[in-house]
Structures are given as C-alpha cells and as structure tokens.
Amino acid sequence: EVQLQASGGGLVQAGGSLRLSCATSGFTFDDYAIGWIRQAPGKEREGISCINNSDRNKYYADSVKGRFTIFSDNVKKTVHLQMNNLKPEDTAVYYCAALSTVGTMDPLGILVDFGTRGQGTQVTVSS
C-alpha cells in the first residue's frame, strides 16, 4: 500500500523559503514518479512538480519554474520540494502524490488525476 507523509509546511513572508518533505513507504521508490499537488481555497488542484525516479526526469509547472526545486533521497525514500522566493499566490495545501508512471506528455496532469495522495501540509505566504 502506497503511504505518503508530507511535512514542512508553515507560515512565511513573501520572498521567503520553505522545504517540504514527503516520506514514502509501501512501494518500490525507484520505480515511481513522486511529486507535489497543491490546492488553494476555491481553486482546482494544480500539479506543480514531480520527479520520475526511474529516469530522473523532473517536471515543473510554469507557475513555480525557477523558484521550486524537487529532488529525491533514494536512501531515505524521501522526496523534497525546495521552495524559494515564495509568493502569496503560493498559499495552498500541498499534497505529496505518487504514481507508477506519469509518461512524458502531461506528467503533472496525470499525477493530479491518477496519483495516490497523502495528507496535506499547509503553506501560507503573507504579503
């Protein structure tokens, strides 16, 4: 059973940084795509980043490209999302998600629609 435990959210001022972590268990880490989905109040879920551990490809939404970096620790089976230069519009609940394959055509969309999600962690960016 895929299990995902997200942590690292909090309150930060605009321009600040946070690092989210996703501890995983119950599946073969090296074979899965793991990433982050966020949902702000009144908005749809948005896939923002994922890493395909099988080929090491990384994907980012345009809204976070250049500010967020995803990386994985294959020993600890944990995926991190380093978030820099945070903006108030980044305020949302962030969920870790995993899927055995996301392809290359629309990996973030596939992760949103079909990925298994863990519980969320709140990120609040004040202006």
41-66 pLDDT tens trace: 999 999 999 999 999 999 999 999 99
Reported confidence tier of residue 108, pLDDT bands at 50, 70, 90: very high
* Mean of the per-residue pLDDT values of the chain: 96
> Nearest CA to 108 among 67, 53, 65, 51?
51
The pLDDT score that the predictor gives to residue 111 is 96
Counting residues of the chain whose pLDDT is more than 90, the rounded percentage is: 96
Reported confidence tier of residue 104, pLDDT bands at 50, 70, 90: confident
Q: What value, to the nearest 5°, has the Cα angle with vertex 64 and ends 91 and 114?
A: 85
Contact 117, 37 (CB under 8 A): yes
- For residue 69, count other CB atoms closer than 10 A to its CB: 15
